[in-house]
Chain A
Amino acid sequence: AQSVAQPEDQVNVAEGNPLTVKCTYSVSGNPYLFWYVQYPNRGLQFLLKYITGDNLVKGSYGFEAEFNKSQTSFHLKKPSALVSDSALYFCAVRPFYGNNRLAFGKGNQVVVIP
């Protein structure tokens, strides 16, 4: 079954500095990859996805992610972090073919320090 690893529990970054949140995945065959953000006591909001094509994917609020097939990674990045980016970030994977099972990582708490 597919799985996602988000190795860091919390990412601290100063406002204005680049932000990176790491994600590696395991899936049979090619993946669909997603990033979501969650604010306290709310559902998840979609940020961006990788389907096929360019390895660099651009999404909402200035976020982007880079797909690396050889390293089975899909790291989320933002060139200049804002205090309002402080939230919980989840990476998710679903197989290109086969079941529709959507697997999430454990999430990363991002704290942007003013």
Chain B
Amino acid sequence: DGGITQSPKYLFRKEGQNVTLSCEQNLNHDAMYWYRQDPGQGLRLIYYSQIVNDFQKGDIAEGYSVSREKKESFPLTVTSAQKNPTAFYLCASSPQGETEAFFGQGTRLTVV
């Protein structure tokens, strides 16, 4: 099946630890995105990548890092510098241009 897979679905970490969220797609899409979702704040863009080995900061990149070494993969690391990391994280991918983005099922990160 073609699609975009995020893992794990639920993730718990202690405060001060870095954690990496996985996002893999087999749709051959060029662009990939990471969003953070908090109640009442909608989807806020963390990072996006238009091609391999290139990515741009979104609106709330502080405390996060990404890599795009392969077209299929766009992992997100939540570092200890992120002050309030508990949230629902969504990954998406899309071809260039007019086609809509496809979303993964999300990872709910809880930092205690």
Contact = CB atoms under 8 A, between A and B. Distances in A.
A22 interface: no
B92 to A, nearest CB: 7
A25 B25 CA distance: 29
B90 A44 contact: yes
Given A102-B92, A104-B35, A44 B103 contact: yes
Majority DSSP secondary structure for residues of A touching B:
loop
Nearest to B30: A100
Interface residues of B, number: 30
Interface string B80-112: 000000001010101011101111111010000
Majority DSSP secondary structure for residues of B touching A:
strand
> B44, B56, B103: which has the most chain A beta carbons within 10 Å?
B103
Interface in A63-109: 90, 92, 99-107
Given A90-B43, A99-B50, A106-B42, 6 more contacts: A34-B101, A100-B31, A100-B48, A100-B94, A100-B96, A102-B101
Interface of A: 6, 9, 32, 34, 36, 41-46, 49, 51, 90, 92, 99-107
